[in-house]
Amino acid sequence: MKHFLLLLFALTATTLSAKPREIRFKILETTDVHGNYFPYDYLNQQPGEGSLIRAYSFVKAQRQLMKPQHVLLLDAGDILQGQPSAYYYNFMDTVSQHACASVLNYMQYDAATVGNHDIEAGHAVYDRWTKECRMPMLGANIIRTSTGQPYWRPYTIIKKDGVRFAVLGLLTTGIPNWLPENLWSGMRFDDMVEVARKYMPEMRRQADIVIGLFHSGVGRENATGTKNENASLQVAQQVPGFDLILCGHDHRKANRKIANVNGDSVLVLNTGANAHFVAVANLVVEKNGKKVSVKSATGHLEDIDQWEVNPEMLAHFQPQIDAVKKFTQEVIGHNATELTTRPAFFGPSAFVDFIHQLQLKITGAQISFVAPLSFDARIPVGTIRVSDMFNLYKFENMLYVMQLTGQEIKDFLEYSYAGWTQQMSSPSDHLLLFNDRTINSPESWQRLRTPSYNFDSAAGILYEVDVTKPRGQKITIKSLATGEPFDLKQTYRVAVNSYRGNGGGGLMTEGAGIPREQLVKRVVWSTDKDLRYYLMQEIRQQKDIAPKALNQWKFVPENWTTPAAQRDSITLFK
C-alpha cells in the first residue's frame, strides 16, 4: 500500500508539473524620443507634452499591474538629438553624466537600439553615452570595419520568469547618404534583411521569443532590393522567426500584423515620435516544460499625454531640467519681424532666406541651397533666446561648400520642385504636391507627398518655377543675383548643409545626377561646428535682426499660383 501511494504521488506530481502554464507579458517600446526627456517645452518656455518622465508613470503602472518580471521596456533609437535637453548634454555639459543615460537608467530600460540621429551627435557623444547606459546598446548591422564585428551588441538575451527573449537591434542603412563620414568613421551599415537572416538561427537556439527592435520605418509591403531606408515590413516578411517587431525612424504610428513567407503572423508596432505614445505588445505565452510558444500577440499605442507626470522622477531630474532651462533662456538678440516657416512653402520667405544669407556670408559661395527644416515653426517679434535657434534650425548639420556645374544646379532644383509642387493644369488645382491618401491626416506634415525638409530653394540666382510644366522642365534660371549670366557649363561654389551634401533626400544624386561616391570629392570646404552654432553667433553679433525675403525666385503663372497658395495653406495647416 505504501509503495502504491508513493507511486500515485509521483505520477500526480509528474502530471501537475507537465501542465502547461500561461504567462502574460507586456513589451513596451519608445522610439524617436528626440531629446524629449523632460515635460518642459524649452522652445516656448512652458510645460510640455509627452516626455519620458510622463511615460514613466505608465511604465511604472504596468510594472505594478503585471509584476516587473512580466514587463520589458525597450527603445528603438533617435533619442540623442532634437531638443535643447539633448544638445546641452551632447555639447555644452560634457562632464556630467548625460541626462539621456540618467533617464534611461532611472526607468530601467532592458535594451535600446541606436538610431541615425544618435550617430549624428558624433563619436565623442554616443561613445560616452553608451558607456553611461546600464542597458545593452544594440546594432547588429552597424559593423566595425577594423574587425568585421558589430560596433554595438547585435542582440541581447533577456530572461523574464523563465522565458528567454532575444532582442535584435537593426538600424536603417541610409547613414552614409545623410551624415559626414567623420561622424560614423570606422563603421559600415549592412543590409537589414541579410543581417537578420544571419542571426536568426543562433537567436532561436538561445531564446524562446525573438523581438526585432529596429530603427527603420515600417516601409512597404512586399518590398524588394537591399539597403532600404524603411525596411521593417521587409524584414518581417522575408525573415521567419520573429514573434514581434518594434520599429521607428519614420515617425509614423503603426499597429498591424503581417504574414511572413511561412504564413506566420508577425505583430509590427511603431509609436510615432517625441514620447507622445508608448507601443504596447501584449503577449500570451504558454510554457510547457522547456517548450515555450506565443499563443497570442496584440498591440496598442498608449497615449502618454493622458498620464500625469511622475512626481518622484520629476523631482529627481529637476536639477537637469533647470540647467537646460537656464541655457535656453539666454538672450542673444532682438527680432524686429516675425519669422515663420509657413510662407516658405509658397515662395521666398524671411525664415529661409535668413539662413540663405548666413550660409553665403560664412562660405563666400555664389549660390546657397536651403529647405525649411522645421515644418511649422514661429519666432515672434521681440527677444531672441537660445531656445529660438532650435525652431530656426532643427538639426545639427554642418555647412559644406560644394562645386556644382550650372546644369547640376538646375537639375537639383528641378528634383526639389518636382517633389514640392504638382503640375497644375487649371487654376483650381493644388499648387503643392499633396498625398491623396493622407491629405486629411491629423498630422499636418503627413499631408504632403514629400517631406518638407527636402523642399530646397536657392539664393544667389534669379529663377522662376513654372508649375504648369512637367517634371524636369519647371525651372528657368534668369541670371546670378548679381546680374551676371548663369552658365549651365560653368562650375559654381554652392553652400549646402551636410545632410544634403552627403546625398540626403536624393537631390544631389537622383536630382543633380552626381554618383554618390563622387559627392565627397565635390566638397571643398566644411565647418567644424553645426550651423545652429553659427546662427547663434551671427545674432549675438548683430544684436538686432529684421530678416526679409530676398525675393530671388517665384512660382508662375502668378494668377494661378497666388490663389492656389492661399487655398493650399488652409489645406496644409488647418
Structure-block grid coordinates of residue 354: 535668413
AA letter at 374: S
- In order along its 574 residues, the chain shows pLDDT tens digits of 445 444 444 444 444 455 889 999 999 999 999 999 999 999 989 999 999 999 999 999 999 999 899 999 999 999 999 999 999 999 999 999 999 999 999 999 999 999 999 999 999 999 999 999 999 999 999 999 999 999 999 999 999 999 999 999 999 999 998 999 999 999 999 999 999 999 999 999 999 999 999 999 998 766 667 788 999 999 999 999 999 999 999 999 999 999 999 999 999 999 999 999 999 999 999 999 889 999 999 999 999 999 999 999 999 999 999 999 999 999 999 999 999 999 999 999 999 999 999 999 999 999 999 999 889 999 999 999 999 999 888 888 999 999 999 999 999 999 999 999 999 999 999 999 999 888 888 888 889 999 999 999 999 999 999 999 999 999 999 999 999 999 999 999 999 999 999 999 999 999 999 999 999 999 999 998 999 999 999 999 999 999 999 999 999 999 999 999 999 999 999 8
Structure-block grid coordinates of residue 180: 559626414
| Three-state DSSP state, 368 | strand
**Is residue 147 within 8 Å of 57, Cβ to Cβ?**
no
Distance CA 4, CA 161 (A): 35
The fold of the 331-573 domain, in CATH, is 5'-nucleotidase;  domain 2 (3.90.780)
The single-letter DSSP state of residue 197 is: H
Quick one: CA torsion of 201, 205, 209, 214, rounded to 10 degrees? -40
Q: pTM above the 0.75 mark?
A: yes
The fold of the 20-324 domain, in CATH, is Purple Acid Phosphatase; chain A, domain 2 (3.60.21)
**Of 86, 488, 550, 88, nearest in space to 358 by CA:** 550
Is-cis flag, bond preceding 557, omega within 30?
Answer: yes
DSSP per position, 303-346 = EGGGS---HHHHHHTHHHHHHHHHHHT-EEEEESS-EESGGGGT
**What is the residue extent of each domain of the chain?**
20-324, 331-573
Distance CA 501, CA 496 (A): 6
Structure-block grid coordinates of residue 118: 544618435
Structure-block grid coordinates of residue 326: 537656464
Distance CA 160, CA 40 (A): 34
**CB crowding 324-355: b at 16 or more within 10 Å, else e:** bbebbeeebbebeeebbbbbbbbbbbbbbbbb
DSSP per position, 491-531 = EEEEEEEHHHHTTGGGIIIIIT---HHHHHHHEEEE-SS-H
Distance CA 496, CA 519 (A): 12
Distance CA 100, CA 80 (A): 7
